[in-house]
């Protein structure tokens, strides 16, 4: 099954989803499709005006274009997802820093889609890490 991860660029979540037999939907995969396209040249232009229009499906016109641009990449991933894993209470440098509103809207969209999801806490010590991995494993095995 396809599992969306939040933050969508997380190595830990990507690896755990794959390790326990599912397909992670990540930001890197979406970016890969963009950057190998020869028509797009430089990093600031990775998001095109077309993408921002696509983002309108996920956020209203009054929402800043940066959020819509991000949602144009993240939104279709949530659309494809059969389940989601959300990492919560993480330090600020963990995840896609720079736009908390996008993060909030993605969480809202996951809940709105009514797909199964789990919220795990960022581990600060060994016992919390064991709990996090056990919860993710149990959730992913339950999806089969």
Partner 1 sequence: MDKEFETRMIVISPSSSVTPDQVTRLVHSLGMEITVKETCYGAMIEGSKEDVHKALAAVRNLDPDRIFTKVRGFPIGDARRCRAHHGSRPGFTQLEKEWECLRLVDKGVTASACGEKVCEVPRPNKLPVKKLREIVDEVSK
Q: Which spans of this chain sit near partner 1 (rule: CB under 8 A)?
A: 7, 9-12, 14-16, 18-19, 26-36, 42-43, 91, 93-97, 121-123, 125-134, 137
Return the number of the residue (52 or 133) whose C-beta is nearest partner 1: 133
- Rounded to the nearest 5 degrees, what angle is found at the Cα of 64, between the Cα atoms of 12 and 53? 85
Return the number of the residue (56 or 99) whose C-beta is nearest partner 1: 99
Is the bond leading into 80 cis (omega within 30 degrees of zero)?
Answer: no
CA dihedral 65, 67, 72, 75 (to 10 degrees): -150
26: which 2 tokens? 């990540």
Shortest distance, position 48 Cβ to partner 1, whole Å = 16
Return the number of the residue (37 or 112) whose C-beta is nearest partner 1: 37
Shortest distance, position 112 Cβ to partner 1, whole Å = 27
Shortest distance, position 139 Cβ to partner 1, whole Å = 12
Helix (H) and strand (E) counts in the chain? 6, 4
Q: What whole-number distance in Å separates Cα of residue 49 and Cα of residue 91?
A: 32
Shortest distance, position 118 Cβ to partner 1, whole Å = 13
53: which 2 tokens? 């229009």
Return the number of the residue (112 or 119) whose C-beta is nearest partner 1: 119
């Amino acid at each position: 099954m396809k599992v969306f991860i939040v933050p969508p660029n997380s190595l830990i979540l990507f690896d755990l989803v794959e390790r326990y037999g599912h397909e992670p939907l990540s930001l890197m995969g979406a970016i890969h499709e963009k950057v190998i396209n020869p028509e797009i040249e430089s990093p600031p232009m990775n998001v095109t005006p077309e993408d921002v229009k696509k983002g309108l499906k996920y956020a209203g016109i009054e929402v800043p274009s940066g959020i819509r641009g991000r949602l144009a990449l993240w939104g279709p991933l949530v659309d494809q997802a059969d389940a989601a894993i959300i990492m919560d209470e993480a330090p600020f440098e963990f995840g896609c820093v720079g736009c908390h509103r996008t993060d909030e809207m993605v969480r809202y969209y996951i809940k709105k889609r009514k797909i199964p999801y789990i919220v795990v806490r960022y581990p600060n010590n060994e016992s919390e890490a064991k709990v996090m991995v056990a919860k993710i494993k149990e959730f992913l095995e339950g999806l089969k």
